[in-house]
Chains A and B, each alone.
Chain A
Amino acid sequence: MQITVDAWDPSFADNPESPSRSDRAVVRADIELEPADWRPVDAPAAGPRRLLVVDGVRRIDARVELLEDGDRWPGVCVSWAAGAVACDLDGRTATGAEAAVVEVAVERGLFAAVDPGADFGRYPYRETASADPGELIASAQSAMAELEAKVAAQCATDAELSVLDGPLRGRTRLPNSVGYIKSHHRSYLQGELNAVVEKLAPGQRTPVFHLMSGWPRYTWYLRLPGTSSRGWAGVARLEAADDLTENAAIALADATAAALPTLGSAAHKDARAPQNLTPIAGLERRLKRMLGDPRLLLRSVRAASLESGR
């Protein structure tokens, strides 16, 4: 088998968005308030002080082509990392008055439909179902989600609220965990209900509603302070597990409304402010650093491909 490494910098053509699946969204809005009574909900005065924030990052280090019997099979070398930060809003942590990274893990892999049969050093082979480039990325994405879940599971779970970056899908092992979605590709609410989101003042949330879109979960919108409060600026969506009682989901929604606004980042420090929460931004920077130098990794992939070509 012959292996060639794409000469192009792999960051080109990397589509960070996971492939969208268009599922039909079913919304049940009468969890907290009757649809007719929907209005912005104020945050409670006191909220959780000890938070756990979990996040993962992923980077394509190299694109390779596997040539076997005249067939071309694409593959990607991916590095991903996941970590968790314990925040104590009162500044009391074991290590002193700092947010502490409690758990970090880095993994790498070569995703392809066929086994290259060569040692790719740091990148163990992971089989994918199809050779479609989108599928390769999706496999990497789910590997990262697995690692996130693993990291989250290893954390001490004395946190009053666990915020997991991204959709909650399948990651419900942590107590009091919510999924945190920064950007909105679809709007799930219709008509009058959607207008409530636009009416949110900073720190306010919408009532909890139940969403069935691919998988069931409770969800609500929350507006973070820091930008203008018009339209959808500064609005994040949160998800809670479907197996909670309705009251437990509402309590979680109150907890996020009390705790998250203080974590919102400032526009001059973060291009994705305020939705990109400060601990997440710090954790992401740290995780990206732990992925290693991409040029160095690319060089090692090239060296491995030359070895296998001999």
Chain B
Amino acid sequence: MSESVGRVLGTEDATPLSFWVGVGPEAYAQLDDVLTTERQVPGVGAVRISGVVTAVRSRHEGAQFDSDVFDIAGGLLPAQVQEAAEVTVTRVEPEVFVPPRPGAEVQRASGEDRDRALYFDGMARQVPLGFSRDGQPVFLNPDFLDGTRGAHVSISGISGVATKTSFATWLLYSLLHSGALGAEASNTKALIFNVKGEDLLLLDHDNTKIDETVRDAYRRLGMEPGAFKSVEVLAPPREGDANGVPDVACRSTGVDAFYWTLAEFCQLSLLPFVFADGDDDRQQYTMVVHQVAARLRKEARPKDNGAISVDGQLLTSYRDLVNLICERLADDETRTEWAGSAIGLGTVNAFIRRLIASGRDIGRLIRGDLPPKGAVLTSEAQVTVVDLHNLPDRAQRFVVGVVLRSEFERKEKAGTARPLQFVVLDELNKYAPREGTSPIKDILLDIAERGRSLGVILIGAQQTASEVERRIASNSAIRVVGRLDAAEATRPEYGFLTQAQRMRVLMAKPGTMFVAQPELPVPLVVNFPFPAWATRPAEAGSAPAAATRSGRAVSPTAKVDPFDLGDDEDDIPF
């Protein structure tokens, strides 16, 4: 039988939405405990009211003045210590919204009672989220993740301690390995943008720093601890490297370079993504950007190795292209054709200035000297990590924008939501800021609003949800909050947190998240287990089987790039 915690208080109002419990002398109630009570309603029968503890307090009864505490502790004044707990109701069953009666016994819910209180009983499929404070597992309804009834995840929290990316990868791991998606799990793909350090580049390496308790935690949640099975890392080519060797330090296998050829750049009109800064949007030269992009698509003739020729002139690098555009714009005769009519010289010059500046950032991503790899980045691997951390800001925006657009277009053409494509993107406040518009924001909005039906699920993370486009946040069915800044926590974007939780997020420890899902009126506090995959080279165990299967520690790059010689400079075959 369930353990009795205390009785419903009569000195505080008990309502169908929340009530206070006087905690018995031999019992305790802590935050996040699940409590349940019952009352008889005439004509209806027993109504079970269950909820989550959202506040606890203890006081000296019989003390009138603050200084009485010293008399009481000194043995002079009789007083009683009384604890009370506030329960925020999550479920009333059957749905007769009556308050519990003062004096009614309150029990700690366990087993089926707890599952019912937290709606786990109604979840046909369950994605483990971690453990609540009482050590019991907490689940997420995947219906709200895979587009069946909702989609998208929004994760907020301050940098460093909120463990946003860890939670995002944990959620992916749980989704793919818990069996919640069934057979579909093996076809489900994930695209992760790695923006900070080389944190996410070792997802397929076992973590050697975890101990048996962490492994046990995974098993208790119904999955084997381990690394992601099938991971491919895509990294930008090394700066100044003619062969397009990926710029990654911490791993040598399972890494491929990503770049776009000049031909793709012109045909797919990628130029606007070079100017995807929020700042760019306010300038007049946006018109020039689109005019030039249209001109390039029309004029460029593809040549070998992704090079193009424009008006018979062979261009093999981004710099060549920049120079050509600058020449055409500087020339009075061709300016109208390239920049459009009625464009002021100042606007054209502003565009030229920025275009030249972009050469340094984007140069290594737009190639005329390497074979085309296709615009779509996703590979055969289940998880594709796109490494952006070495790239300057403008290049990061360019990559995110182009990759997201091509992914979205691919799914649009496929016309079916399955298999699902998850997209993990940090710093959402940079790519989809509340103010202004940019080509990336348009795509992210498209994903947020139509992605559910197309099978593109955004797992977005940001430091401040208040600075992210409202429509993106409001379309996220699952909202997750880690540690927050005090000023940020008071913003209306976090209205789904209870008053006490708003205080608690200020001191949330790494690994603790507040997860709001549509079925539950109260966000659940979750401790998710330490990653079972390496998050930095020091933790990395043996190289995964999938990455070495191709043998001889040869980069998979070799399969698609016959000219990549890797480090074997001596072995030139010709």
> Residues of A at under 8 Å CB distance from B?
85, 87-93, 97-101, 262-263, 269, 278-279, 281-283, 285-286
> Residues of B at under 8 Å CB distance from A?
62, 64-65, 67-68, 71-81
Contact residue among A89, A97, A99, A262 (Cβ-Cβ distance under 8 Å from B78): A99
Cβ–Cβ contact B64 & A98, under 8 A: no
A281 to chain B: which residues have CB within 8 Å? 77
Q: How far apart sit A100 and B62, CA to CA, in the bound complex (Å)?
A: 12
B80 to chain A: which residues have CB within 8 Å? 101
User: In angstroms, how far is the closest chain B Cβ from the Cβ of A69?
Assistant: 45
Known pairs A269-B65, A285-B62; A279 contacts B77 (CB<8 A): yes
Cβ–Cβ contact A98 & B73, under 8 A: yes
User: In angstroms, how far is the closest chain B Cβ from the Cβ of A93?
Assistant: 7
A262 to chain B: which residues have CB within 8 Å? 76
Cβ–Cβ contact A91 & B78, under 8 A: no
Cβ–Cβ contact B78 & A100, under 8 A: yes
From A281, which residue of chain B is reached at the shortest CB distance?
B77
User: In angstroms, how far is the closest chain A Cβ from the Cβ of B58?
Assistant: 13
From A85, which residue of chain B is reached at the shortest CB distance?
B78
From A88, which residue of chain B is reached at the shortest CB distance?
B75
Given A97-B75, A99-B76, A282-B76, 12 more A-B residue pairs with CB atoms under 8 Å apart are A85-B78, A93-B75, A98-B72, A98-B78, A99-B77, A99-B78, A269-B65, A278-B77, A282-B71, A282-B77, A282-B79, A285-B64
B79 to chain A: which residues have CB within 8 Å? 98-99, 282
A282 to chain B: which residues have CB within 8 Å? 62, 71, 76-79
B76 to chain A: which residues have CB within 8 Å? 87, 89, 99, 262-263, 278-279, 282
Cβ–Cβ contact B73 & A97, under 8 A: yes
User: In angstroms, how far is the closest chain A Cβ from the Cβ of B117?
Assistant: 33
- Counting from the closest, the 5 A-B pairs by CB-CB distance are A282-B77, A88-B75, A99-B78, A85-B78, A282-B78
Cβ–Cβ contact B78 & A101, under 8 A: yes
Cβ–Cβ contact A286 & B78, under 8 A: yes
* 12 A-B contact pairs sorted by A residue (CB < 8 Å): A87-B75, A89-B74, A98-B81, A99-B76, A100-B78, A101-B80, A263-B76, A269-B64, A269-B65, A269-B68, A279-B76, A282-B76
B73 to chain A: which residues have CB within 8 Å? 91, 97-98
B75 to chain A: which residues have CB within 8 Å? 87-93, 97-99
User: In angstroms, how far is the closest chain A Cβ from the Cβ of B92?
Assistant: 31
Q: How far apart sit A269 and B397, CA to CA, in the bound complex (Å)?
A: 68
B78 to chain A: which residues have CB within 8 Å? 85, 98-101, 279, 282-283, 286
From B74, which residue of chain A is reached at the shortest CB distance?
A91
Q: How far apart sit A269 and B67, CA to CA, in the bound complex (Å)?
A: 10
User: In angstroms, how far is the closest chain A Cβ from the Cβ of B64?
Assistant: 7
Q: How far apart sit A91 and B68, CA to CA, in the bound complex (Å)?
A: 14
User: In angstroms, how far is the closest chain A Cβ from the Cβ of B176?
Assistant: 52
User: In angstroms, how far is the closest chain A Cβ from the Cβ of B77?
Assistant: 4
